[in-house]
Structure 1
Amino acid sequence: MSRDVISDEVWDVRGPVFPAAAATGRPPADRRLVVEAIAWHYRTGAPWRDTPERFGNWNTVYKNFDRWSKAGVWADLLEHVQSLALANEDLDWVASIDSTIVRVHQHGATLPRTTGGSNELQEIWSRAS
């Protein structure tokens, strides 16, 4: 099984959350393939235009992603998966944030610090000597 292919078992759980295709108009893109393309995009961090051809037209993938985002489909999917995990007692609400990935913006790095911490430290050292 390829790394970017959603298994049938996973799709059976997540697939029904996505809206049904319109009955009229252009034939819709395969929902599962579009979701796989979106997952590929976020896993690689590549621009939308660099979406591999095996997923179809990049613009179709992006438009579906954008439409689903505005419709709240991704939030619904998260709620759906969380409710299933909670029902199966597989959900653990422990979160850990590693401060090494939290960076200050380059323009904020040179701002003066007004915490007073360094001034107090200098006063302590000047009294001790």
Structure 2
Amino acid sequence: MMPLPVSSPAAPTHQLTDREWRGIERLLPLPSPRGRPFADRQSVMTGVVWQFLTSCPWRAVPRQYAPWQTCYHYRRELDRLGVWPEIVRALELVPGSLLTGTAGKPASADMGDGYRVELLRGTEEVE
């Protein structure tokens, strides 16, 4: 099945809650004081988590989070630094988070038309 286009009203969206953000913010690398100012890290991480949950191509990351290229490069940096598995574990500890769902079970993303993507535990290669 083809991924939903970014503009599709059925495309799942979510913003990291303040509780989820507090659980992972300390794990993230600080932006470099040099170069262009970094985008809003919470929005970028929401895009990274959205892509992880949906397994959609990076180009399908909703623009409301950050440009897909920013999310992709940030995820690559998290993988390179070895902190991505820690971020996934930290989000799993937040009750009701994207990764635990409301019943404490692994979450899944509803892609519409009865198509669901189950959360994969662990890391994956970025596309």
Deviating above 2 A after TM superposition, structure 1's stretches of 4 or more consecutive aligned residues are 75-84
Partner of 2:53: 43
Instruction: Give the drift of 1:66.
Output: 0.4
CA contact (8 A) 2:13 2:50 kept: no
Q: State whether structure 2 residue 68 is matched by structure 1 residue 58.
A: yes
Letter in 2 for 1:55: Y
Letter in 2 for 1:11: W
Change beyond 3 A, Cα 1:72–1:37: same
How far apart, in 2, do the equivalents of 1:81 and 1:41 lie? 15
How far apart, in 2, do the equivalents of 1:58 and 1:28 lie? 14
Change beyond 3 A, Cα 1:9–1:48: same
* Unaligned 5+ runs, structure 2: 1-11, 95-127
Mark the structure with the bigger radius of gyration.
Answer: 1
TM-score by length of 2: 0.56
Q: State whether structure 2 residue 15 is matched by structure 1 residue 5.
A: yes
User: Which protein, 1 or 2, shows the higher relative CO under an 8 Å CA cutoff with sep ≥ 6?
Assistant: 2
* Unaligned 5+ runs, structure 1: 85-129
Aligned residues: CA RMSD: 2.6
Residue correspondences, number: 84
Identity of paired residues, percent? 27
How far apart, in 1, do the equivalents of 2:60 and 2:29 lie? 26
TM-score by length of 1: 0.55
Q: State whether structure 2 residue 31 is matched by structure 1 residue 15.
A: no
SS in 2 for 1:76: helix
How far apart, in 2, do the equivalents of 1:79 and 1:16 lie? 13
